[in-house]
Amino acid sequence: MLTDRARWDVEGRDWPNRAQSRFVATDRVKWHVQVMGSGPVILLIHGTGAATHSWRELMPVLAAHFTVVAPDMPGHGFTVGRPLGGLSMGAMARAAGALLAELQLEPALIIGHSAGAAIAARMVLDGLVAPTGVIGLNAALQPFPGLAAKMFPTLARMLFVNPFAPHIFAGIARQRGEAGRFLARSTGSKIDAAGADFYGRLFATPAHCAGAITMMADWDLESLARDLPRLSVPLLLVHGDDDAAIPLASAQAAVAQVTGAQIISLPGLGHLAHEEQPGAIADRIIGFARAIGVMAA
């Protein structure tokens, strides 16, 4: 039987790191969140259309050194509900801050992938958290270039007002192998079949598709780009140079805006670099954490 929403006992039956999952309620949102390890706290924020499965191999490596917190963001995965303000960048940042308060955890480091990096930066800029540093993995911190700057928000809003759009996308995703083909085309990454299957399970649920569409429809990268020079904590961007979704030039432009920011380019990796080579990404994270004093050298 098909359902609009991902079910923990069906789509989540063998979810990665399932033993570390818990469900936590804040105002308007019931979160699916995974907590693992001990030590300084790291918050992991996934990007649009993803969920905690995106960290399936990276999270256990980091948990050897840190307390790692990874939620499904509102509208995604197994998290239910909408924060006040919907799925705008500011609302998502405030919601993540409320989750951390409920968990009574203060992050020393925030790591965001793609749009998750924008949420991480927004949390710091809005004074919701005070981490020692921020890492963006294939970060979406700059407005889309050229014609895409107008096309993507317009398309997203058109889809948002069409109640059938999420069901159409979910129907396409249910076709055998389509999720893997879509990921390869749109990200430039080559991930394993198990990883593609987890994406496929979520893409096949209209609620998850609706979450991704709604998030796109209310995403304000122009304001973030204007505010980015105010970011006062160390920033590291790690970017696969074969990223088919966000060009390396976008990360380079973001680094140029933030005093002292650094960039590391990873040859041959795409938008899901942290899923392609989690060990290599973990090495960069640990190196940065040592450099800024989050963990001992």
Q: Convert the pLDDT of each residue in 245-261 to its tens digit.
A: 899 999 999 999 999 99
How far apart, in whole angstroms, are the C-alpha atoms of residue 223 and residue 192? Answer: 36
Give yes or no for a contact between 46 and 115, defined as CB atoms under 8 angstroms apart.
no
How far apart, in whole angstroms, are the C-alpha atoms of residue 179 and residue 200? Answer: 5
Q: Convert the pLDDT of each residue in 199-247 to its tens digit.
A: 989 988 989 988 888 888 778 899 999 999 999 999 999 999 999 989 9
Give the amino acid at 57: E
- Among the listed residues 87, 59, 89, the one whose alpha carbon sits nearest the alpha carbon of residue 75: 87
pLDDT over 80 (residue 73): yes
pLDDT score at 178: 65
**Whole-model pTM?**
0.92
Give yes or no for a contact between 67 and 96, defined as CB atoms under 8 angstroms apart.
no
- The dihedral region occupied by 110, where left means phi > 0, alpha psi between -120 and 50, and beta the remainder, is beta
pLDDT score at 109: 98
Q: Which residue has the higher pLDDT, 279 or 159?
A: 279
- Residues whose CB falls within 8 Å of the CB of residue 235, separated by 6 or more in sequence, listed in order: 121, 133, 134, 135, 136, 255, 258, 260, 261, 262
pLDDT score at 161: 54
In the block, which residue shows the tokens 């940065």?
288
How far apart, in whole angstroms, are the C-alpha atoms of residue 269 and residue 241? Answer: 6
How far apart, in whole angstroms, are the C-alpha atoms of residue 284 and residue 44? Answer: 15
Vertex 24: Cα angle to 21 and 26 (nearest 5): 155
The C-alpha torsion from 282 through 79 and 24 to 9, rounded to 10°, is -90
Percent of the chain with pLDDT over 90: 75
Q: What is the mean pLDDT of residues 139-146?
A: 81
What CATH number should be reported for the domain whose range is 18-147+224-291?
3.40.50.1820
- The dihedral region occupied by 86, where left means phi > 0, alpha psi between -120 and 50, and beta the remainder, is left
Domains of the chain: which residue ranges? Answer: 18-147+224-291
pLDDT score at 103: 98
